[in-house]
RNA sequence: GCCGAGGUGACAGAGCGGCUAUGUGGCGGACUGCAGAUCCGCAUAAGUGGGUUCAACUCCCGCCCUCGGCUCCA
């Protein structure tokens, strides 16, 4: 199986650290609001990856964090004048409901940032000890990127490149040290923790490094998220972890391109910012949404349109009516071509997904197979064989109703 | 300034060095009391200039154009 590694910018053969086992960490939602359809593009891609690895015989240990302490969650709680937990618990629940709707398999662990404050404090202290971090006058703790020998190697960015751009402005501050710990701030209201570092709260980048270390150990096989996380989030998480352990943070980095709506970037001002709920309210099936999110290769921008949703809906209906038809199959003769077609379907399906999880040829093979048999008289025996095959492949696609 | 993606028929969107992609829409037909669904058939293609080749939409080079990222972000 080949996967595109962001770090090398090449497709590489996938070989996990330990045979038969995959350790995977994916960046989860910030529970300040309902997750939008673009978030789910990434999560569905990761689900496909996980399902494919599982089918390939790997035992996958998957950790996905829940970011429940950050500017946005705090902002939301302040505006609604409720406790932080009231906001984050509600949206976390909504997130899991949405995962179920899209038939996304659960991770093994969903650690919350708020429950790992102690570990993040410890991490900051260790980094100070190692001289990889420093304390500012106001009590902030920054990671010193000049101490990281390969900072920028994941994203391909050299801090110098930004220097030129930034110097055009006044607020230029180089190098781009990033914050590990923020001292208590008036803006945060009552949200802070009393720790050995003083009162404050953690910075976002500490979170993934800390929880990955705790639940997966010093190194993992796959770290994944949306492209926007390549820099700075994953670059920083990598720098933190590697400064601490001296070991490679992750062997592979997989990043999903963004979803756009009608050719435009999703944004609230353009009023094209959709949550999964918004879309399902229009009456389409969750399976059709999943099929759209699945259908475009993860490294290409996915152009989401309602026209496409209609086409997707029709495809799901075609699949469902075919399955219904199978239950009534009672032809006398068995098909002579079926066995060969099943083998070809499986082979095409596997070749396609083994090639950096390319879904298009796999889906094409899947639906072409259905189209070939939907108008044929099928025996009961053949119907069983067909259904078994479709179900087997759907353990990866997840678009059939159970 | 730096890094990256892409230009295929009305639209969306694949694969492939020679063989009809496919879907939506359109057109013609079948079926149906009408509609819908379904089925059969038809049309429309490869930004631009060169190169490699017996053969290029597919490989190589130049040009044009579009788009994305560069410490809020999946």
Closest-lying nucleotide for A308 based on CA to C1':
B12
How many residues make up chain A in this entry? 402
Query: Stated in angstroms, how far is A372 CA from B64 C1'?
Result: 44
Would you state the pLDDT for residue A69?
A: 94
Give the mean model confidence (pLDDT) for residues A178-188. Answer: 90
Q: Is A164's pLDDT higher than 50?
A: no
Would you state the pLDDT for residue A175?
A: 59
Look up tokens 């496409």; give the residue.
Answer: A308
Closest-lying nucleotide for A296 based on CA to C1':
B13
Closest-lying nucleotide for A266 based on CA to C1':
B73
Would you state the pLDDT for residue A190?
A: 87
ipTM of the complex model: 0.88
Query: Stated in angstroms, how far is A361 CA from B16 C1'?
Result: 12
CB-CB contact of A367 with A303 (8 Å): no
Tens of pLDDT, residue by residue over A330-380, are 888 888 889 988 998 999 899 899 999 999 889 989 998 998 888 788 899
Would you state the pLDDT for residue A169?
A: 40
Question: Which of A168-177, A198-207, A254-263 has the lowest average pLDDT?
Answer: A168-177
Percent of chain A with pLDDT over 90: 65
Percent of chain A with pLDDT over 70: 96
Tens of pLDDT, residue by residue over A42-71, are 999 999 999 999 999 999 999 999 999 999
| Local confidence band at A171 (pLDDT 50, 70, 90 cut-offs) | very low
Residue A263 neighbours by CB under 8 Å, 6+ apart: A303
Query: Stated in angstroms, how far is A360 CA from B23 C1'?
Result: 12
Closest by CA to A395, choosing from A3, A90, A53, is A53
Query: Stated in angstroms, how far is A332 CA from B33 C1'?
Result: 34
Query: Stated in angstroms, how far is A41 CA from B61 C1'?
Result: 37
CB-CB contact of A76 with A87 (8 Å): yes
Residue A306 neighbours by CB under 8 Å, 6+ apart: A282
Q: Which nucleotides in chain B lie less than 7 Å from some protein C-beta? A: 1-6, 11-15, 21-24, 37-40, 67-74
Would you state the pLDDT for residue A162?
A: 55
What are the structural domains, with CATH classification, of chain A? 2-256 (3.40.50.620), 264-397 (1.10.730.10)
Closest-lying nucleotide for A233 based on CA to C1':
B71
Strands A59-64 and A21-26 turn out to be parallel
Tens of pLDDT, residue by residue over A246-280, are 999 999 999 999 998 888 888 777 778 899 999 99
Query: Stated in angstroms, how far is A177 CA from B71 C1'?
Result: 9
DSSP letters, A90-157, are HHHHHHHHHHHHTTPPPPSB--BGGGGHHHHHHHHHHHHHTTSEEE-TTS-EEE-GGG-TTTTTTTT-
Burial A268-285 (b: 16+ CB within 10 A, else e): eeeeeebbbeebbeeebb
Closest by CA to A296, choosing from A38, A34, A14, is A38
Question: Which of A10-24, A162-176, A265-279 has the lowest average pLDDT?
Answer: A162-176
Closest by CA to A317, choosing from A281, A369, A276, A370, is A370
Residues forming a β-bridge with A264: A261
**Maximal C-alpha separation, chain A:** 85
Closest-lying nucleotide for A368 based on CA to C1':
B22
> Per CA to C1' distance, which residue is closest to B66?
A263
């Amino acid at each position: 199986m080949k996967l595109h590694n962001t770090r090398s910018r090449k497709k590489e053969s996938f070989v996990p650290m330990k045979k038969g086992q995959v350790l995977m960490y994916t960046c989860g939602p910030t529970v300040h609001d309902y997750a939008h359809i673009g978030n789910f593009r990434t999560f569905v891609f990761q689900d496909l990856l996980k399902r494919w690895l599982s089918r390939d015989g790997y035992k996958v240990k998957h950790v996905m964090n829940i970011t429940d302490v950050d500017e946005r969650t705090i902002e939301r709680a302040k505006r609604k004048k409720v406790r932080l937990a009231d906001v984050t618990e509600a949206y976390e629940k909504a997130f899991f409901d949405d995962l179920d709707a899209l038939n996304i398999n659960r991770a093994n662990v969903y650690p919350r940032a708020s429950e790992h404050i102690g570990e993040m404090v410890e991490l900051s202290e260790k980094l100070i000890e190692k001289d990889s971090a420093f304390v500012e006058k106001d009590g902030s703790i920054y990671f010193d990127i000049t101490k990281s020998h390969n900072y920028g190697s994941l994203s391909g960015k050299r801090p110098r490149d930004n220097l030129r751009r930034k110097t055009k402005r006044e607020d230029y501050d180089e190098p781009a040290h990033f914050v590990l710990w923020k001292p208590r701030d008036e803006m945060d209201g009552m949200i802070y923790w009393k720790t050995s570092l003083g009162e404050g709260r953690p910075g976002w980048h500490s979170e993934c490094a800390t929880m990955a270390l705790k639940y997966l150990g010093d190194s993992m096989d796959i770290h994944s998220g949306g492209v926007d996380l390549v820099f700075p989030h994953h670059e920083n998480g990598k720098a933190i972890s590697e400064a601490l352990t001296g070991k490679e943070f992750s062997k592979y980095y997989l990043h999903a391109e963004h979803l756009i709506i009608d050719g435009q970037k999703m944004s609230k001002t353009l009023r094209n910012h959709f949550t999964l709920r918004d879309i399902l309210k229009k009456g389409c099936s969750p399976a059709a949404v999943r099929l759209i999110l699945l259908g475009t290769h993860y490294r290409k921008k996915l152009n989401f349109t309602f026209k496409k949703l209609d086409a997707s809906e029709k495809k799901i209906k075609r699949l469902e009516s075919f399955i219904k038809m199978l239950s009534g199959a009672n032809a006398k003769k068995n098909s002579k071509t079926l066995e060969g077609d099943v083998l070809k379907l499986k082979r095409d399906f596997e070749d396609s997904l083994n090639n950096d999880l390319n879904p298009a040829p796999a889906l094409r093979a899947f639906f072409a197979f259905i189209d070939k048999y939907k108008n044929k008289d099928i025996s009961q025996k053949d119907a069983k064989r067909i259904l078994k095959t479709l179900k087997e492949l759907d353990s990866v696609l997840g678009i059939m109703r159970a």
